[in-house]
Structure 1
C-alpha cells in the first residue's frame, strides 16, 4: 500500500453528511444539497479550521443512463450557504450527459490559517496555492508528509464519492445505485483529480483541467526549459524555493 493509499483511505471518525435541501427541478430531474463533513485535518493548535466542510450538490436526472456519476471538484470558500441554488454548470452537465452529477466545493477548505513560525497567531488567511505551498513548507520543516494539504484534498473527494453512494442508495433518494465515477476539476482541483484516481478504484475516467501536474519533476523541467524562467502563476511555490527543496532529502517527502 502506498503512502497516499494509507493516508486517504483510512476512515475518519468525523466523516458525516446530512440532507440540507431538496431542489425541485421539474419532471426531468431532482437535486439535493448535502452538508458534508469530509474529515478533520490536523488540529486546532495547528490550523484555524481543522474540520473540512462542504455543501455537496447532487443532480439526478429521473431517466439517468447507467450507474456512473460525474464528480466535479470545485473551489469556493467556507462562507457558501447550503440553502443556495444549485450550480448552473452542474445542471448543464447533468442535462447534457443524462447522468448523476455531483459538485464538491471548497477544495481545499479555505480560507485556512497554518499556525507556524510565519504566523504564530494563526491570523493569516490562506487560499489556493498560498495554502498549498505553506503546507509544503511545514511538511519539509517537520519532516512530516501528513502536512501536505493535497492528501486532505484527495480525502475530501473520496468522502464526496462515499456520501453520494450512501445517500443515493437510500429510499428517500430513490435507491439509486452508483458504481463508479468520472472525475474532473481545474487547476488545484485537477491536481486533486489525478491523485484521487491514483488511489481509488471507483474512478472510471478523469478529466483534469488547466495545469499538468502528472510526473512533476519532468513537468517542472519542461516548464523551465520552455520559458527560461518560472511562470508568475506558480510564484507561491518559487518564492519559497520549494522546487529547489525537492532536490533535498527533506524535500523528497513532498
Structure 2
C-alpha cells in the first residue's frame, strides 16, 4: 500500500501521467487514416477488413533507421454479427504480427470472429501491435528487433541514453507508449467507421490481449474511459520490484531465461535504483491501480508459463480487488505461455464473462462475489472461499488444484527451463486436482463456504502450490456455458529457498 500512496502523490488522482500526455497528444493526428480493403459477408456476420495508420513515434528524432517506420500501420478486422445486440460492449483484441507478413491469419483471429456470433456483440482484432521488426539508430549493431528484445531495447534507451532525447521526451521511449497510443487510435477509427456504416453500437469496450498485448490492455484500460472491462491473458507482472525480488528468491538466485533481454537491458542489476522505479511508474500497471475503479477485470493466467512465477499475483491482487469494480482470476493448469490447446476453452469463458458483463446494471448484479483467504497451520495449508450473488447460475463445482516442485532448491513450475549447457529444455510439472464440492443452487440469495486443505506431510521435502477453482454453470444455457474463476496461489512451506538480494547483488543467473 505504501508504494501506491507514493505513486498517487507523484501523479495525483486526476493529474495526467506521461503516458496520457503521449497517448492523448494529437499533434500527429494528421497521420491517422484508414481504408476499407474488403468486406466479407458470411451466413451469420459481416467482416470488414481495414488498413489503418495510427500514430508516429519519434518521427523527427531519427530514432529509427527506416524513415517509414515512425508511422505505425495495422490491419484491423471488424466482425458485425447479424444477431447483434447493440447495447453490448465491443470486444477489442490486440494482436501481434510482422510488418513484412500482412494478410496472415493469426491463431486468435478465428476465435475473435466466432465470439461475435456467440456474444451477439461487435468484435475487433487489431494486428501489428507493436509494429515490428524495428532497427534503431542508437543500436551499434543495427539489429532488427522483435517482441521482448524490442521492448527491452527501449528500456535500455530509457535507462542509459536519456541524453539522446530532448527535454523530457525520454519518457516516451518505452515501447508500451506507442503500443498504447496505437490502440487508442484504433478505438477512434473503429467508432468512426461504425458510424459511417450506420451500425448501431455502444461506445464501451472490453479490451484483451496476450502477453505484451495483455500488458497494453492493462495500460489502455487504465487511461481510456471507454474501456469498461479488461481481459489480460498471461500478463500478471504487476509490481515489478516485488515480483523480480520474489523471482530471484524462488529460482534460487536468478531469473527465468524468458527475461534474458530484460536482464541484458539492466532491469535486474538496477532493480533497486531510481531509474527502474521511474520506468515502473511509466509502464507498470501497478502504478495505475487507482484508475481501475470502474473496470471489470478477468485476468487469465497459465500456471506453467516461462514468463511468470505462479505467485506473481500475491504482490498486487488484494489492492487491485479494492480498486477495481469487479476482478476475477482464471488460471489455466498445465499450460505454458502459448496456452497450448487451451485457447478454445478460454474463449468460451471470455464469451460467458462478456454475456454476464452486458447484463450488469446499477440495480442488478450479474457477476458473482468471490472471496478467499489462506489459513495455514503447523500441519496443513488451507484456502477458505466464500461465494455469493449467484442469481445467474444454476450450479457449480469446486476443485482444488495442486502441484509439487521437482526439488526443494527452487519454487519453479515452468514448463521449460535453461539447463547447465544454456539450452532450453521442455518438461512437464503435473497439476493435479480433486473435487471438493458439487452444488446445485436452489436459492440465489444463499451464501456458500468451502475449504481446500492440503497436508504438510505430503510435501516430501518439496514445495507445494495450490489454489481453488470454481466452475459456475449459467442458468438456461447449453453445455459449455460456464464461468471459471479461481483463487490466488497458496504455498507450503512459506519460506524461500534462498535469501533476498540488494542492488548489484540482483544481477542473478538465468534458469
TM score, norm. by length of structure 2 = 0.46
Change (3 A) 1:250 1:218: closer
The CA RMSD measured in Å over matched residues stands at: 2.0
Moved over 3 A (4+): 80-86, 249-253
Aligned residues: 248
Alpha-carbon distance, 1:2 to partner: 1.2
The residue number in structure 1 matching 2:268 is 243
Equivalent positions of 1:108-127 (< 5 A) are 108-119=130-141, 122=142, 124-127=143-146
The residue number in structure 2 matching 1:159 is 185
Contact 1:67 1:179 in 2 (8 A): no
Q: 1:130 aligns with which of 126, 149, 165?
A: 149
Q: 2:129 aligns with which of 107, 115, 126?
A: 107
Structure 2 residues not aligned, in runs of 5+: 1-15, 163-169, 280-511
Structure with more strand by fraction: 2
Higher relative contact order (CA 8 A, sep 6+): 1
Equivalent positions of 1:1-254 (< 5 A) are 1-11=16-26, 12-13=28-29, 14-26=31-43, 28-43=44-59, 45-47=62-64, 48=66, 49-65=69-85, 66-82=87-103, 87-119=109-141, 122=142, 124-143=143-162, 144-170=170-196, 173-228=197-252, 229-254=254-279
Contact 2:241 2:272 in 1 (8 A): no
TM score, norm. by length of structure 1 = 0.90
Structure with more helix by fraction: 1
The DSSP-based 3-state class of the residue aligned with 2:102 is coil
Q: Which moved more, 1:96-105 or 1:140-149?
A: 140-149
Structure 1 residues not aligned, in runs of 5+: none
Alpha-carbon distance, 1:187 to partner: 0.6
2:127 and 2:96 map into 1 onto residues whose CA distance is: 5
